[in-house]
Amino acid sequence: MYDDDAAPLALSIFRSNGSAAAANSLSSRLVPLADLRRLVSGRYRGRTLAFELELRADVDRPRPIKKVSGDFYSLSDVTPVYAGSFVVHNPTLTVTPTEIRIRGLGRYTFTAGFTIVQVTIERRPLRQPPSPAMVQFFSQTSAPGTAYICAYESPLLMETDGVCDATRPVGPDS
């Protein structure tokens, strides 16, 4: 993550140590800051009138598991109620300079008619906020199903609330 001004400094440090090969190797790996793109892996959330989708994508961080998964929540009650989940184990990743497309067969905890999951996320520059994920479900015959626009929430895939149980000692001395 070097800007254009840092490259000459790095080159001069290596050259002063007498290693021109190391200096040339470093300069070939330097990327201008303006060209660096955000990682798209993380947690996203989107809604339709009836359901909320919490999407998790782990495809481009160091040592990714290369999976996408999600949980559906029914919105018919006062608070969202868990309705089911899916996971895409071996998705096809299409990576371009401007977007990542993740597509594959989902395994569901319920009977689903639209089993193909496609997630498209724009790869934005670091200086811009994260892009939403466009999630589209398809049938085996490629008929489109429900689509979600999921806003980026966090680079963390899961969020848990801390639980603290209060206990008291049990035994003859209590």
| Mean pLDDT, all residues of the chain | 82
* Residue 171 covered by a domain: no
What percent of the chain shows pLDDT beyond 70? Answer: 72
What tokens appear for 60 in the block?
A: 């481009």
Going from the C-alpha of 45 to that of each of 1, 48, 168, the distances in angstroms are 29, 11, 40
| Domain assignment of residue 81, given as a range | 42-154
Q: How much is the pLDDT for 162?
A: 60
* Residue 63 covered by a domain: yes
Cα angle for residues 42, 45, 47 (degrees, 5° grid): 160
Contact 121/57 with Cβ under 8 angstroms? yes
Residues 134 and 66 in one domain: yes
Contact 100/121 with Cβ under 8 angstroms? yes
* Residue 116 covered by a domain: yes
28 pLDDT tier (thresholds 50, 70, 90): low
pLDDT one-digit tens code per residue, 40-95: 889 999 999 999 999 999 998 888 899 999 999 999 878 899 999 999 999 999 99
